[in-house]
Amino acid sequence: MSEYNNKDLAAFKDVWVFCEQRQGNLMPTDFELISEARRLADELGCKLYGLLLGGEGIGAKAKELAGFGADGIIVCEHPLLETYTTDGYTKVIVDTVKERKPEVVLFGATNIGRDLGPRCAARLHTGLCADCTHLDVDVPGYQQFLRGASTLDEARIGGLDTALVMGQKHDVSHDLKMTRPAFGGHLMATIICPRFRPAMATVRPGVMKKAPFDEAKANAAEIIKENVVLAESDFETKVLSVEKAAKKLVDLVGAEYIVSVGRGIAKDVDLGIKLGQQLADELHGVLGGSRVVIDSGWLSADHQVGQTGKTVHPKVYVALGISGAIQHKAGMQDSEMIIAVNTNPSAPMFEIADYGIVGDLFKVTPMLIEAIREIKANK
Ligand SMILES: Cc1cc2nc3c(=O)[nH]c(=O)nc-3n(C[C@H](O)[C@H](O)[C@H](O)COP(=O)(O)OP(=O)(O)OC[C@H]3O[C@@H](n4cnc5c(N)ncnc54)[C@H](O)[C@@H]3O)c2cc1C
């Protein structure tokens, strides 16, 4: 292994995405992150690699990943990597980073990514920004993002091509700018890792848009088989079996149609949820909820949409009795079409709705269900 010095910034190049698999199946965040990281690699003028760990045969999934924009996939195959373990995955990733020295490493902020990313960062003695919702390298692009997403004035934005690092003015044009909600979502913070490499981040699932699959890119990708050194003695823990939770969780992130209910159902919670579910079923979609609905125990946490819940971009998002607080909008405002039902004509949800119905959800929802049934019957 060549000498490893995490302060020798010039020795590090390329962007990596840790590609999570469970029982040999790739995760949706892999495709989102590869798609987004393509832009970052282009801005840095370097290559993009997926890092895929798994048991024997996992390399067969490499081309599928590359089709979303990677120049290559680094495959680490080993029987001891078949099932995720913190010990095994951390060791192999740290070894591979030390060997190949990427400049940026991204993980999905999934349960596995949140466990693995910080541990790798600590072992590599570098920085990690958790739960990012936006990433940039290019300074003009970052400044343009701030113009739309922040309340900073032009003079302040203009000055953000540099940052004060250890008392010195530092040019940020080559740093990954990692933006995430801070202080309970009341502020957005942008964080850089100017003194160490690689810069590491976990990225919220569902936030980055997946690029279309490109067969030519998939076929052109370089597949690198890494020599994995791993033994039973590297493990503090042993996985005896993997038991899937009996309860099926709601897949909000992958849903094309979502009907969400808010506090507006309060006067008859059971009926409100039943109507929301019926409308979702008619659309072949799923039921979501605002945080109030989750905190009140009316729906389980996997239904929550918003800043502290799931970020979604379905084809259609129906908001029943949801006011449209900024933290709720943060999770659904990129939906292709938004339909809002609310008794209050001034509800902020109407500001972003494509179709707004001012009315009582207990009257309007049965009418929507009926209308859809009629359309189906006439087809
Ligand atoms: C740090 C932080 C993180 C947060 N994260 C999230 C998050 O992830 N997701 C989230 O949703 N919230 C989140 N919140 C909470 C958020 O600020 C709001 O409190 C919440 O979204 C409000 O939920 P709501 O719209 O259901 O309720 P309300 O704001 O109370 O709105 C209820 C709406 O229902 C309408 N209504 C009442 N009766 C009817 C009826 N019969 N028919 C039609 N309309 C009716 C009312 O006019 C009103 O507009 C967060 C807050 C903080 C501080």
Dihedral, 358, 360, 366, 369 alpha carbons, nearest 10? 30
Residue 341 lies in a domain: yes
Residue 52: give its domain's CATH number: 3.40.50.620
- Mean pLDDT on 157-171: 95
Q: Do 189 and 111 share a structural domain?
A: yes
Ligand 1 mean position, distance from CA 193 (Å): 36
How far apart are the C-alpha atoms of 265 and 297, rounded to whole Å?
Answer: 13
Same domain, 116 and 230: yes
Is 337 domain-assigned? yes
Closest by Cα among 272, 274, 262 to 306: 262
Q: What percent of the chain has pLDDT above 90?
A: 87
Q: Taking the model in full, what pTM does it have?
A: 0.77
The domain that contains 339 carries what CATH number?
Answer: 3.40.50.1220
Q: Please tell me the least confidently modeled range out of 26-30, 149-153, 175-179, 313-317.
A: 149-153
Domain that holds residue 269: 257-378
Does ligand 1 have an atom closer than 6 angstroms to the CB of 328? yes
Binning pLDDT at 50, 70 and 90, where does residue 225 land? very high
Residue 142 lies in a domain: no
Structure tokens at 302: 């996997």
Domain boundary among 234, 266, 281: 234
Instruction: Give residue 45 CA to ligand 1 midpoint distance, Å.
Output: 44
Peptide bond into 212 cis (omega under 30): no
Of 92-96, 171-175, 299-303, 368-372, the least confident:
299-303
CA distance 262 to 324: 9
Q: What's the average model confidence in pLDDT over 23-38?
A: 95
Beta strands in the chain (DSSP E): 15-19, 21-22, 25-26, 48-54, 72-77, 104-108, 128-132, 134-136, 162-165, 168-171, 177-182, 187-191, 199-203, 222-225, 257-261, 286-289, 316-320, 337-342, 355-358
CA of 6 from ligand 1 middle (Å) equals 46
What span, in angstroms and rounded, lies between the C-alpha atoms of 100 and 36? 22
* pLDDT higher than threshold 60 for residue 272: yes
Which pLDDT score, from 0 to 100, does residue 207 have?
85
Ligand 1 centroid to residue 115 C-alpha, Å:
31
Q: Which residue has a Cα nearest atom 39 of ligand 1?
A: 264
The whole-number pLDDT of residue 4 equals 93
Question: What pLDDT is attached to residue 1?
Answer: 54
Residue 207 CA: distances (Å) to CA of 125, 158, 286, 314 = 28, 26, 19, 12
d(CA 45, CA 143): 19
pLDDT tens for 315-359 read 999 999 999 998 899 899 999 999 999 999 999 999 999 999 999
Residue identifier of the C-alpha nearest atom 27 of ligand 1: 263
